[in-house]
Amino acid sequence: MLLDGRVAIVTGAGRGVGRAYALMLAKHGAKVLVNDLGSSAAGVGEDQTPAEEVVSEIRGFGGEAAVNTSDVSEWAGAQSMIDQAVEAFGGLDILINNAGILRDRMLVNMSEEEWDSVIKVHLKGTFAPTHHAANYWRLRQKGGHEVDARVINTTSHSALFANIGQSNYAAAKGGIATFTQVAARELQRYGVTVNAIAPRANTRMTEGLREYTEEQLAKRDPEWIAALVTWLASAESKNISGRVFESWGYGYAVMESWQHGPQTEASRDPGELGDRIRQIVRFARANAGIDRNTWLEP
């Protein structure tokens, strides 16, 4: 029971990896607020049924859970979600920002609405709940209470390795990875750790992208990811913060962020730069492209 007595919010918890997170957190003793609008993968429509089904399943094995259908990308909705967790369960210890949508399209064909909607759900939908949760923890800490809280965000290998056709999604998820690092530095003074997961799982958002063998599908079961998320949500992870983890059944990897590469002297004359820039680019490591990133997968 890694999470006995702890209170968690999981956004986008009605299906896929979010559902797996909510169930495993509850099995390890957490009281879980299951947030989900119940929209399609493209963010269309609303349906409370997926969240209700997860709550029913948790209660079925003796856990405690409640439904929340707030839009996490709306400021007031994010605040009401935090308030509900505190009122229903007496506090808040864990926030897992998982909600997301897809509107894939090549850059030249992407509409303004397709860009804005994805950025809002992913990026603002991570910032707004984290903002309100962080203020709750800050006030607790300033009130003399011990805080040992967790924020776990969701980035994507599509952002980290630059998948074509997803400039909106990749920009949002890349922003979340950096947001995670900044938030970790800012919130450590309040007893809050902040990490991110780049999950690789077979869900409705990835179905049909490629064919998998039964063995590969088994390695893409969301439970592999839920195990790491559950551990990161526990007291055992207290000294780990500001990290991004790639996660699936083949293993877990710590992603290494931007590093300083080859350097050259500066010049006020652009005519002197050609050979210098070409040389440092030649000695720099190539970007880790998604097509070449087959880490541990046969």
Active-site positions read 156, 169, 173
* 3-class SS shares of the chain: helix, strand, coil, % to 5: 45, 15, 40
What whole-number distance in Å separates Cα of residue 285 and Cα of residue 279? 12
Phi then psi for residue 57, to 5 deg, are -65, -40
What whole-number distance in Å separates Cα of residue 176 and Cα of residue 99? 12
Query: What b/e readout covers 107-134, taking b as 16+ CB neighbours within 10 angstroms?
Result: eeebeeebbebbbbbbbbbbbbbbbbbb
Strands 251-254 and 149-154: unpaired
**What is the CB-side half-sphere exposure of residue 292 using CA atoms within 13 A?**
5
